Each structure stands twice: as structure tokens, then as C-alpha cells.
Amino acid sequence: MNLHECLATNNACYKAGQRIAVKGIMVHSTGANNPNLRRYVQPDDGLLGVNPNGNSYNTKYPGGSAVCVHAFIGKLKDGSIATYQTLPWDYRGWHAGGAANNTHISFEICEDGLNDADYFGKVYQEAVDLCVYLCKKFGLTEKNIICHSEGYRLGIATNHADVMHWFPKHGKSMDTFRADVKAALNGAVEPVKPVQPSTPSTTDGKIDTVREVQLWLNRNYSGGLTLDGLYGSRTKAALTKALQHGLGVATDGIYGPNTNAAVRRNNLRNGSTGELVKVLQGFLVCHGHKTAYVDGIFGAGTLAALKSFQRAYGLTADGIAGCNTFAALCR
């Protein structure tokens, strides 16, 4: 499996942040002759390619509808097959038009013209591997996997044909799909291990260069940054916007009075966790004070890096990220 992460942080579903108790997996296909992941997943991370039409799922309401799935399977710009996660696995997606939204992880397989056996074989295997991965992660079995059309018959999804308008063209069905997942879970077939991109994952990854912070900003905040490894005005503004996003204030990329007041209410210190800690860690990396991980956990590494930065900028080295520290980070 070639698994990457590019969360649709602008999608209303992501912003809602509603979590579910995962009870199953629902397989979808896109219903459009476009096998390219860039159509649905943005921003470009160097592997996807740019979507010039601005109609990816990383918008509030894609196509004017409340819709979002947890992942897409399709082609990268070099023609290879990959899976891109677009929602945290336990977030509530908008994919079934019914009760399955509250219980099922969902993914879309990007359709082509439906007759290319080579493409189908590759995305089918990628989907099997993804389901094996998710079954192991959430304690599921192949019996917990259905497609959209099966969900309709069960009364938990709207009336869609996917994927049974496509699979039988290539001698497959949901029964064979579940059998292949079962075989892999039982060790008869060893699924390919997830391949990490050449740069770290956007969560829990070792991010210790400016370029890696830029990639993280592009994936999580639609930073639109050139991955040049230089800490210039655009990267600084993108980090400031990420800070403002976490604080819930206007995201203009300028550290002004409103941002300062919000920081005053949200000082960070050893033991803090969450999005604001990740932003702090990103700032520290860009200023040359590596924290080892941009993971949202303020531990010993972040504390040491923060004190080092404070000393370098003539601030009180108290290890607390407050107004003076963030003002210096954003300069």
C-alpha cells in the first residue's frame, strides 16, 4: 500500500471534527472518468500534481454539497497508484447519505473508463491493502466491509450503484473483495506495508527541516508554499496563519493585537498538547531550534528548543510560549 496523508482541512466535515466509533468500512467509487488523485486531493505535495480547477474536496462544500470521505485511491502525476487519507479515520464523514456516516470509514476509488484491466487490478489491490490496514487498526474483519450499493440494501446509505457497476466487469465482486481481505488478514497474502512519502507524514513524523515544515503546512493548512527549504516571508505568514487558525482569530498572517490577545489566553508550556503546540514546534524548527517531532506534544525536546530560542532572542528562558515568545517567532 502506498499510503499518504493530505487532510482536507478546509472541508466542513473536517472542521466539524465529529468523531465516530468505527464499526465498518464502506467502499465507494467516484462515478467520473478521471483516475487522477489531484482532481479530489489538494494541495499538491509534489506527488499529486496541481488541480487548476480548484474543485478538490479541500473546500468547504465540494461541488456545493456537504460531502467528504476518509481517503481516495487513484493515480499520482507519475501514473503510479496511491492512497491519500483526507480525513482522520475516526472523524464522521459525509459519504453515505444515511446512518453509515455515523459508523463507517469511507474511501473512494477513482474511476477511469471502467474497462482498463491493468488500472483496475492495481486500484483493487490497493483497496484490499487499505482495508487490511484499517481492519487491523480498528479490530474489524472482512465481514465489516460493504460497498455503497450494499449499504443501500441495508438501509444505511442512499441508492448508489458503486462499486457493483464496475467490479463485475473485471470478474470481481464485493464477495471476492472480502475474501481477498480475509486471506490477507489470515496471512495467506501479505499486504504491502504502507510506503511513507519521501518527506515525513503530517502527523507524528520527524519534521526537522524548513522544507518539511513547508510540506506540513501545505498538507494541513493549504499553505501553497514552494518547497524550497527557505524560511522567508511566505513561510512565516503561513505559520502565523496556522497559529491564528488554532487560536480561532482572523487568519491574515500578521501577528497583530487580536492574535496577541488570543495568545495571552493560550500560553503553552510543558505538558500542553494540540494544534497550537504543533505550530509552535514548526516555528522552532524554522528558526533552527529542532524539536525532533511536530507531534502536538510539548515534552522535553520542545522545552529545550523553546528555551534555546528564548535565550537567542534575549527573552526570559522560562520555557513558556506566551505573547513575547510568539511575537518574536512571528517577526
**167: CATH:** 3.40.80.10
| One domain, residues 169 and 248 | no
% of the chain beyond a pLDDT of 90: 69
Tell which of 124, 151, 185 closes a domain: 185
Residue 191 in domain: no
Q: Angle at CA 166, nearest 5°, toward 161 and 167? A: 110
Q: How far is 283 from 210, CA to CA, in rounded Å?
A: 9
pLDDT at 192 over 50: no
Residue 194 in domain: no
- Write down the pLDDT at residue 200: 37
198 vs 153: which has the higher pLDDT: 153
| One domain, residues 222 and 178 | no
Residue 198 in domain: no
Residue 217 in domain: yes
Cα separation values, 168 from 27, 128, 171, Å? 15, 16, 5
Residue 197 in domain: no
The answer to whether 20 and 90 are in contact (CB under 8 A) is yes
| One domain, residues 101 and 225 | no
Cα separation values, 300 from 29, 221, 243, 293, 297, Å? 45, 26, 21, 11, 9
Residue 46 in domain: yes
| One domain, residues 12 and 119 | yes
| pLDDT (tens digit per residue) in 230-282 | 888 999 999 999 999 889 899 899 999 999 999 999 999 998 988 899 999 99
Give the domain extent around 296: 210-329
Kindly calculate the radius of gyration of the chain based on its CA atoms and give it in whole angstroms: 21
Banded pLDDT at 221 (limits 50, 70, 90): confident
- Write down the pLDDT at residue 206: 52
pLDDT at 199 over 80: no
| One domain, residues 31 and 148 | yes
- Write down the pLDDT at residue 218: 82
| One domain, residues 43 and 156 | yes
Residue 249 in domain: yes
pLDDT at 189 over 50: no
| One domain, residues 172 and 269 | no
- Write down the pLDDT at residue 202: 40
| One domain, residues 57 and 158 | yes
Q: What value does the mean pLDDT take over residues 44-64?
A: 90
Average pLDDT over the chain, rounded to an integer: 89
pLDDT at 195 over 50: no
| One domain, residues 221 and 179 | no
- Write down the pLDDT at residue 322: 95
| pLDDT (tens digit per residue) in 120-148 | 999 999 999 999 999 999 999 999 999 99
Tell which of 150, 185, 220 closes a domain: 185
- Number of domain units in the chain: 2
| One domain, residues 159 and 253 | no
Residue 288 in domain: yes
